[in-house]
C-alpha cells in the first residue's frame, strides 16, 4: 500500500514537471508564442478530431471562435475513453490532457501519427498553455466533464448526465501571460480547415467566428478529396484537361494524388505527409516526379510522338502547367530539412513512383486526347527551354561585355557580405531618388523600378531573361532564376519590396511576389523577401515629436493616447501620405528604412501563394472569374491596368 502511494505521487510530480516545462519553454512545443503559435493550439485539438475521423468514427467537426477568443471544438467520434486506470485512479481522458505525449502520438499503435516537427504534440500542451480548459465527453451512456486551469486539474472527470450520443467537446482559453496575442485570425483558421477537409475526403468541417457583429461561417465537405482540391487551386486557370487525373491506392503507404494540367507555365505541386504540408518536399515528391517524367516519355515514344532522333523530355518540360496535390500516409515519418517539412523515408520514393507510373500510363492509354494535348505542351516547353538557354547565353555574353554585371539603375551598398545587406526594390523614380538619399549606403542598396511590368503569367522563362524590368531584379539578386536559382549566391539577405499603399502599389507587389514565387521560390521559403510598410499618416504639433501611423487602427490609438494627455484631435495637424514620393529622404529613412524604427513584413509562402492566386485571377486567361473579381472589388481595382 505504501509503495502504491509512493508511485502515485512520483507519477503526478512528473506530470506537473512536464507541463511546467511546457509553460517555461512553449516555443519548444509549439514553435513560437506569436499569433502562429496561438493558431497551433487550435490545430492540435482539431488534429485529434481528424485522427478520430481517419480511424473511421467521426463525420463532423465543428470549430467555433467564441466571443472573447475562446475556442470550442466538437466532434462526433467515439469520445475519449473515460475508464479509470486501476493503478493511478486517473481516467484515460485526464491522462490524455495532462501527460506529455500521451495518447500514442509517438507510439505508432494508433494509425498515422506525426513524430516530428511542431505537430502532434498533443492535447496536454494545449492544456498547459491555456488559462483554462474544459473537456466534455459523451460515451457509454453518459456525459462526462473535466476542468483544468493552466494545465492543473481542478475538476477530475465527473459524470454530469446521461446521453445516448458519442463525441468529444473541448473548450479552451489560451493563456494571455504566455501568448503575445489572443486574437485568432478567422481567415488563417478557415484556410487550414479547408485544406484539412480536402485532405480527408467526406469529412465535414464547419468553422465559425462568433466574435463580431456579423458572425462568419464556412462549411467544408469535399466528396472528391484531392480531386476537389486541385479543381479549387485551378479555379481561375484555363484547363488543358476537363477532369483531374485521380490516383488512390491503399497499401503499406496509402497514396492519394490528383493532377490537372493548365495552360500556365508554372508548376504547382503541393505535398502532404499525414496531413502535414511538406513544404520542402522529399522522397514522395521525388518518386512522383520520376514517375511522371518516365510515363510521359514512354508513352510519347511508344506512339512515335517523340521520334528516335529526339531527346527525352525533361522533368521541367513535363511539369510545365501542372497542378498536383500529393498526400501520403507514412507510419513512422522522418522529417528533415531546415523547417522539418521534408520527408526522408527512402522507401516511399519507390512506392509512390510505381503507383504513379502504373496509373498514369493506364490513364494516358485510355485518354489519348488528353495525352496528346499535354504532350503538345510538354514538347513546346522543351523548345522554349532551348530558346531560354540561348537567351540566357546572350544575356550572359552581353553582361560579360559590359564592365559590370549589375544593372545600371542599382545603387549598391558598400558592404559586400550578403548576410548584412539589403536591397530595396522601389516603385517609381521619385521614390527611388528619396530612397537613395535617405538610405544607409553601407548596407542598403536601392533598385528603382518603373513603368509597366511584364505579365509573368503569359511569359515563359526565355522572355523573363530578356525582360528589361525583371532582368535588373534578377541581376541584383544575383542567384539566377527557375531551376538554376542558387540561394547561396544571393547578394542580399533581405530583398525588400517598397511600394505605395494604394492600388498601383498593390499591383506591383502582386507582380513581384508572383515573380519571386514562380522563379525564385527558395528565396521566399528561406524567408528573404520582405514588404516595407510606409506610414499612412503623420500627426504633428508644435513642441511634440511627430507621430507616424501605419494603419487606421494606429491612428485611432494615437488619437486616444493624445486625448489622455489632454491634447484634442483638433490641435494636431494630420498629413495623409498618398505615396512614397511625398516623403523627403529623411522622413523615408526615419519611418520606413531605419532598422530601429521601420516595420518589415516577412513574406510567407502563404502570402506568395495568395499573390499568385490573385495574379492568375487578374492576368490569367479565364475571363469569367476575372470579371467576377473585378465586380466584387470594383472600388479597389478601378485603377488597375489589366
Strand 322-328 relative to strand 245-249, pairing: unpaired
Q: How far apart are CA 48 and CA 279, in angstroms?
A: 22
48 is an interface residue for ligand 28G by CB under 6 A:
yes
Pick the catalytic residue: 280, 500, 590, 612? Answer: 500
Q: 346-366 and 368-401 are packed helices; what angle lies between their axes, rounded to 10 degrees?
A: 120
Residue pointed to by grid coordinates 530612397: 435
Asked if residue 44 binds ligand 28G (CB under 6 A), the reply is: no
Q: How far is the CB of 578 from ligand 28G (least distance, A)?
A: 49
Contact residue for ligand 28G among 40, 119, 169, 463 (CB under 6 A): 169
According to the binding rule CB under 6 A, does residue 74 interact with ligand 28G?
Answer: yes
User: How many Å apart are CA 312 and CA 300, to the nearest integer?
Assistant: 9
590 binds ligand 28G (CB under 6 A): no
- As given in the structure block, the three cell numbers for residue 2 are 505504501
Which one is catalytic: 208, 280, 427, 590? 427
Number of neighbouring beta carbons within 10 Å of residue 143: 17
Q: Which stretch binds ligand 28G (CB under 6 A): 28-36, 69-77, 478-486, 560-568?
A: 69-77
**Measured between alpha carbons, how far is residue 313 from residues 67, 287, 297, 306, 638 in Å?**
56, 17, 6, 9, 43
Q: Which stretch binds ligand 28G (CB under 6 A): 142-150, 163-171, 172-180, 189-197?
A: 163-171
Interface segment toward ligand 28G; rule CB under 6 A; list 12-20, 72-80, 518-526, 591-599? 72-80
Which residues are within 8 A (CB) of 237 and not within 5 positions of it... i.e. 6 or more apart?
Answer: 262, 263, 264, 323, 616, 620, 621, 622
Of residues 75 and 280, the one with the C-beta less far from ligand 28G: 75
Cα separation, 159 vs 58, whole angstroms: 22
- Least distance (Å) between residue 54 CB and ligand 28G: 11
CB contact at 8 A, 247 and 258: yes
Residue of 38, 75, 231, 523 interacting with ligand 28G (CB under 6 A):
75
- Taking alpha carbons only, the member of 69, 23, 81 closest to residue 42 is 69
Note whether 81 binds ligand 28G by CB under 6 A.
yes
Nearer to ligand 28G, 136 or 190 (CB): 136
Residue placing its CB nearer to ligand 28G in the complex, 166 or 415: 166
Q: Residue from 30, 41, 42, 49 that binds ligand 28G (CB under 6 A)?
A: 49
Minimum CB–partner distance for residue 553 and ligand 28G (Å)? 33
CA 534 to CA 598: how far, in whole Å? 8
- Shortest separation between residue 380's beta carbon and ligand 28G, angstroms: 50
Q: Which of 134, 504, 582, 594 is catalytic?
A: 504
- HSE-up (13 A, CA, CB side) for residue 312: 11
What is the contact mask toward ligand 28G in residues 98 to 127, using x (rule: CB under 6 A)?
A: -----xx-----x-----------------
Site string for ligand 28G, 281-300 (x = CB under 6 A): --------------------
Question: Binding to ligand 28G by residue 77, rule CB under 6 A?
Answer: yes
Q: Is 142 in the site for ligand 28G (CB under 6 A)?
A: no
Residue among 185, 27, 31, 188 at smallest CA distance from 606? 188
Q: Is 146 in the site for ligand 28G (CB under 6 A)?
A: no
Report the first-to-last Cα separation within the chain, whole angstroms: 81
Instruction: Candidates 42-50, 183-191, 486-494, 611-619: pick the segment binding ligand 28G (CB under 6 A).
Output: 42-50
Q: Which residue is nearest to ligand 28G (CB)?
A: 48
The reply to whether 138 sits near ligand 28G by the rule CB under 6 A is no
- Known catalytic residue: 632? no
Size of the site for ligand 28G (CB under 6 A): 19
Stretch of 22-30, 68-76, 151-159, 374-382 contacting ligand 28G, by CB under 6 A: 68-76
609 lines the binding site for ligand 28G (CB under 6 A): no
Answer yes or no: are the C-beta atoms of 97 and 106 closer than 8 Å. no
How far is CA 19 from each of CA 41, 72, 123, 152, 506, rounded to the nearest angstrom? 15, 22, 11, 9, 45
Q: Measured between alpha carbons, how far is residue 100 from residues 10, 105, 122, 611 in Å?
A: 15, 10, 7, 39
* Contact present, 589 and 531 (Cβ < 8 Å): no
Judged by CB under 6 A, the stretch of 47-55, 213-221, 267-275, 446-454 that binds ligand 28G is 47-55
Q: How far is the CB of 53 from ligand 28G (least distance, A)?
A: 9
Rounded to the nearest 10 degrees, how much is the dihedral formed by the CA atoms of 185, 188, 189, 190?
Answer: 110
Q: Residues 7, 183, 502, 586: which is the catalytic one?
A: 502
Among 19, 45, 292, 497, binds ligand 28G (CB under 6 A): 45
- Closest approach, Cβ 225 to ligand 28G, in A, equals 22
Q: Which helix (H) or strand (E) holds 385?
A: helix 368-401
Tell me which residues in 231-260 interact with ligand 28G (CB under 6 A).
none
Strand, coil or helix: what is 212? coil
310 included as an active-site residue: no
Chain centroid to Cα 439, Å, comes to 32
Q: Smallest gap, in angstroms, from Cβ of residue 173 to ligand 28G?
A: 15
Q: Is 168 in the site for ligand 28G (CB under 6 A)?
A: yes
Provide φ and ψ at 425, rounded to 5°: -95, 115
Task: State in angstroms the smallest separation of the CB of 256 from ligand 28G.
Answer: 23
Q: How many helices (DSSP H) and strands (DSSP E) are in the chain?
A: 21, 23
Taking CB under 6 A as the criterion, the residue among 73, 196, 456, 477 binding ligand 28G is: 73
Looking at the Cβ atoms of 77 and 505, the one nearer to ligand 28G is 77
Q: How far apart are CA 393 and CA 264, in angstroms?
A: 25
CA distance 427 to 509: 9
Q: Does 301 bind ligand 28G (CB under 6 A)?
A: no
Region 509-568 residues binding ligand 28G, contact defined as CB under 6 A: none
Which residues are catalytic, by number?
427, 500, 502, 504
The residue ranges that bind ligand 28G (CB under 6 A) are 45, 48-49, 52, 73-75, 77-78, 80-81, 92, 96, 103-104, 110, 168-170
Amino acid at each position: 500500500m505504501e509503495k502504491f502511494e509512493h508511485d502515485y505521487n512520483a507519477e503526478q510530480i512528473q506530470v506537473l514537471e512536464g507541463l511546467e516545462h511546457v509553460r517555461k519553454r512553449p516555443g519548444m512545443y509549439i514553435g513560437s508564442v506569436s499569433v502562429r503559435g496561438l493558431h497551433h493550439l487550435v490545430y492540435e485539438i482539431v488534429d485529434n478530431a481528424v485522427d478520430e475521423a481517419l480511424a473511421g468514427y467521426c463525420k463532423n467537426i465543428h470549430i467555433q471562435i467564441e466571443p472573447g477568443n475562446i475556442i470550442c471544438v466538437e466532434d462526433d467520434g467515439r469520445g475519449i475513453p473515460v475508464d479509470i486506470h486501476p493503478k493511478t485512479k486517473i481516467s484515460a481522458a485526464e491522462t490524455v490532457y495532462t501527460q506529455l505525449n500521451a495518447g500514442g502520438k509517438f507510439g505508432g499503435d494508433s494509425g498515422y501519427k506525426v513524430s516530428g516537427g511542431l505537430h502532434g504534440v498533443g492535447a496536454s500542451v494545449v492544456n498547459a498553455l491555456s488559462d483554462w480548459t474544459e473537456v466534455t465527453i459523451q460515451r457509454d451512456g453518459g456525459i462526462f466533464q473535466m476542468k483544468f486551469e493552466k494545465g492543473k486539474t481542478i475538476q477530475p472527470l465527473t459524470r454530469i448526465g446521461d446521453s445516448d450520443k458519442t463525441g468529444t467537446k473541448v473548450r479552451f482559453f489560451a493563456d494571455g501571460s504566455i501568448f503575445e496575442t489572443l486574437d485568432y485570425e478567422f481567415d488563417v483558421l478557415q484556410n487550414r480547415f479547408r485544406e484539412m477537409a480536402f485532405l480527408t475526403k467526406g469529412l465535414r468541417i464547419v468553422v465559425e467566428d462568433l466574435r463580431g457583429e456579423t458572425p462568419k461561417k464556412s462549411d467544408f465537405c469535399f466528396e472528391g478529396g484531392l480531386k476537389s482540391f486541385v479543381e479549387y487551386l485551378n479555379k481561375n486557370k484555363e484547363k488543358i484537361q476537363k477532369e483531374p487525373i485521380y490516383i488512390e491506392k491503399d497499401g503499406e503507404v496509402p497514396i492519394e494524388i490528383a493532377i490537372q494540367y493548365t495552360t500556365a507555365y508554372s508548376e504547382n505541386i503541393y505535398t502532404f505527409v499525414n496531413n502535414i504540408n511538406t513544404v520542402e518536399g522529399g522522397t514522395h515528391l521525388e518518386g512522383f516526379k520520376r514517375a511522371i517524367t518516365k510515363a510521359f516519355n514512354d508513352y510519347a515514344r511508344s506512339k512515335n510522338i517523340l521520334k528516335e532522333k529526339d531527346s527525352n523530355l525533361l522533368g521541367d518540360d513535363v511539369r510545365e502547367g501542372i497542378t498536383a496535390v500529393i498526400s501520403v500516409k507514412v507510419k513512422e515519418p522522418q522529417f528533415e530539412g531546415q523547417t522539418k517539412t521534408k520527408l526522408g523515408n527512402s522507401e516511399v520514393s519507390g512506392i509512390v513512383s510505381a503507383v504513379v507510373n502504373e496509373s498514369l500510363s493506364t490513364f494516358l492509354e485510355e485518354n489519348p486526347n488528353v495525352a496528346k494535348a499535354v504532350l503538345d505542351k510538354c514538347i513546346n516547353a522543351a523548345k522554349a527551354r532551348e530558346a531560354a538557354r540561348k537567351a540566357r547565353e546572350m544575356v550572359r555574353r552581353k553582361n560579360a561585355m559590359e564592365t559590370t554585371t549589375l544593372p545600371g539603375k542599382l545603387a549598391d551598398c558598400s558592404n559586400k557580405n550578403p548576410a548584412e545587406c539589403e536591397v530595396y526594390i522601389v516603385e517609381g523614380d521619385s521614390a527611388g531618388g528619396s530612397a537613395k538619399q535617405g538610405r544607409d549606403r553601407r548596407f542598403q542598396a536601392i533598385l528603382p523600378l518603373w513603368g509597366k511590368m511584364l505579365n509573368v503569367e503569359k511569359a515563359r522563362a526565355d522572355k523573363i531573361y530578356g525582360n528589361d524590368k525583371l532582368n535588373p531584379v534578377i541581376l541584383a539578386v544575383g542567384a539566377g532564376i527557375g531551376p538554376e536559382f542558387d540561394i547561396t549566391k544571393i547578394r542580399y539577405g533581405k530583398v525588400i519590396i517598397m511600394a505605395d499603399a494604394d492600388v498601383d502599389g498593390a499591383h506591383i507587389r502582386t507582380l513581384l511576389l508572383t515573380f519571386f514565387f514562380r522563379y525564385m521560390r527558395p528565396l521566399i521559403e528561406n524567408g528573404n523577401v520582405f514588404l516595407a510598410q510606409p506610414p499612412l499618416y503623420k500627426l504633428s504639433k508644435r513642441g511634440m515629436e511627430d507621430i507616424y501611423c501605419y494603419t487606421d487602427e494606429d491612428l485611432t490609438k494615437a488619437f486616444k493616447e493624445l486625448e489622455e494627455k489632454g491634447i484634442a484631435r483638433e490641435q494636431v495637424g494630420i498629413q495623409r501620405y498618398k505615396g512614397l514620393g511625398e516623403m523627403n529622404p529623411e522622413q523615408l529613412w526615419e519611418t520606413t528604412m531605419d532598422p530601429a524604427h521601420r516595420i518589415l513584413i516577412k513574406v510567407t509562402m502563404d502570402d506568395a501563394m495568395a499573390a499568385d492566386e490573385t495574379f492568375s485571377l487578374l492576368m490569367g486567361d479565364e475571363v469569367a472569374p476575372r470579371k467576377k473579381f473585378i465586380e466584387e472589388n470594383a472600388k479597389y481595382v478601378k485603377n488597375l491596368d489589366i
